[in-house]
Structure 1
Amino acid sequence: MATFEFTHSWKAAELDRCMRRNVVSGASGLGLRRGVTIADESGRTDTRNIETVKGLRQARKRFQLPTAPATETALLCPYLRRVSEGGQLQITVNGESVPFELAAQRDYWEDAWQRIEVPARLLRQGENEVVFRAVGDSQWSLLIEESRHPDRSEISDDGGITWRSEELGGSDRADGEYVVRLWLDQYANWGEIISDPVDLLAASGEVATTHGGSAVARLDVEWSTPECTGIEFSW
C-alpha cells in the first residue's frame, strides 16, 4: 500500500477565520477571552414588559456562580430606569448594600443600562441574590424577558417578607427573568477553536486519484500554556 504524506500548518490569518468560543487571538497567539457575563436571559423583550419597584414592592434577582470570583471587582448591570422625579434606590448583594447613584445625564444609547461596582468579596460560589428596594416615594423599573427557566427572578409585595417567581410585572401577568446581569473581570474558564475543514484527499493530485486505499491522519501540535492551565486537541 502506497503511503503519502503532507503537512498543513495554520497561519495567524487562518486562525482568525476559525469558529471560536471564548477565544481571542493576539500577537502572542490564542488566549481565553477576558470578561465573563453571568446572565439568565438574552434581552428578547421590549420596554413595555417592565417591573415597577416602589413602596413595599421589591424585586430580587438570583445568580448561580460555578466558582467564587477570581477578581476584586464585579459589575452589576441591570436595565434600570427611574420612573419618578428624584428619589433613591437601595441595592443589596447577599444582604450588604452597594452604593448606587443614577447619573444626572447619560448618552441615549446607554440611558437604561447601569454599571454598578460590586466588591467581589460579596459574591460566593453557588447562589447569590440581589435585591432592589425603592427609597421613600421613588419608583424604578426593570425589564422582564418572558421565560419559564431558570426561574431566578422574584417579586415581593410585603417588603421582602415573602417572595414569588410568578405574577411579575404590571398587573402581575408576567413570568420570566429580570434583565439584570453580572460581569466578572476575569478570564473565561474554557474556550474552543475549530479549524476550517482540511481536505486530505485533495491535498495532492496523487492522493486524490488513489482509490480503495486507506488514510491515516496524525495531528502534531506545538504549544505553550500558562501555569495552572491546560489544552486538549481532537481530530
Structure 2
Amino acid sequence: MAVTDIVKLTGLRGIIAQKMSESLAKTAQLSFFCDVDVTALIQAREAWKAAGVKIGYEDLIAKTISYVMRDFPAFNGVETPAGIELHEEVHVGCAIALPGALVAPAIANVERLALPDIAATRQDLVARAKLGKLTIAELTGATVTITNLGLTRVEHFTPILTYPQQAIIGLGRIAPKPWVDVDEQTVVVRPVMGLSLTVDHRTIDGGPAGDFLGALAQALESAAGLTPQE
C-alpha cells in the first residue's frame, strides 16, 4: 500500500484533535434531528436585503436561539468543577472552517443585539479568524454553538459538543421538498432545512431535547422578531 502523505496532529490541528477527544470522553452525547420549513426565514432575509442590510442565515438563527433560550435555560450552560453554570446571557459560537482547522468564536450577548449588529460581529469574527487574530475570550466564551454545513448536500449530521457547552446546533442544506400544508391535506413544495441538535445526555434528557428542538424549529418557521419592522 503506497503512502501519499502523513498528516501530523500538531499545532492548531493537534489542539482541535485534543478538544474533540476530550469532548467525547467527558460527555454522553446524543443527537436529534428534524426538518424546518424556512419560507418565512428566507422572506426575513430578503426583507433585510431590501433594506440594504446583509443578514446571513446564521445571524437569523443565532437571534432565534436567544429567544428560545428564555424557556430552555438548561441548554445555555457550561460545565465547571462545581457543576453546570447556567447563563442568562446567550453567547453563540459560530463554527468557522479554516484551512486545516475549525474554530467557533462567540458572538457575545446575542439576546441584546439587533440583527445588523449580530451580522457585523459575525463578519468581523470570520475576517479575523482568517488572519489568526481572534482573542482567547472569543474562542472560549460561547455558551452554545452553531455549526453550518448548508453549502454542502448534507441535511442532518451529529455535531460534536464544544465542551464544556451543553448543546450544539447543526444546520444542513436548504432544498425544495414536499411539505404538508397547514390544512394537513395539501402537499406543497417548500424550502426545507435539516436541523440537528447534540446535547450532553448526562444533564439533558431526551424529552427536553426534543422540546427544545421543536421550539427552535417552530420559532424559525414563524420567523417572529426577525424582520426589519419588528
TM surpasses 0.5? no
TM-score normalised to structure 2 length: 0.26
Structure having the larger proportion of residues in helix: 2
Larger radius of gyration, structure 1 or 2? 1
TM-score (norm 1): 0.25
